[in-house]
Amino acid sequence: MKMIYITSNISVFPQVREMLDTLMIDSYQVIERAWSKSPKGDKRFDDPVWPGYNVIIFVQTDNNNCLKITSKLKIINDNAHNDNELITWAEWSLDKLNS
């Protein structure tokens, strides 16, 4: 099992959610209105100086789907209009997923 941490500008979130639904990923959580300072793009602190915010998505999935998801995220990044639309993600192994 894998855990994938995804963070993106709110403007890109619909694409990410559609991608997860298309891949039939059935276990993920969304945290809206996350402030962020990403490696690229503008800060997003949802204030007058740094408007906008990010969305955080945690995905629990098997190794095969993890590869599919990260491959699709790379494609979305390759088609980003600017650095503010880039998605950042990390993945790590899960010992157990209880539900």
* Single-letter amino acid, residue 15: Q
54 contacts 16 by C-beta, under 8 angstroms: no
Whole-prediction pTM value?
0.92
Closest CA to 76 of 27, 16, 35, 4: 16
Handedness of CA 11, 14, 17, 18 (dihedral sign): negative
For domain 2-93, say whether CATH 3.30.56.10 is its number: no
Q: Which two tokens stand for residue 99?
A: 């539900």
Q: What is the pLDDT of residues 30-87, one digit of tens each?
A: 999 999 998 889 999 999 999 999 999 999 999 999 999 999 999 999 999 999 999 9
Q: What is the rounded CA–CA span in Å between residue 30 and residue 28?
A: 7
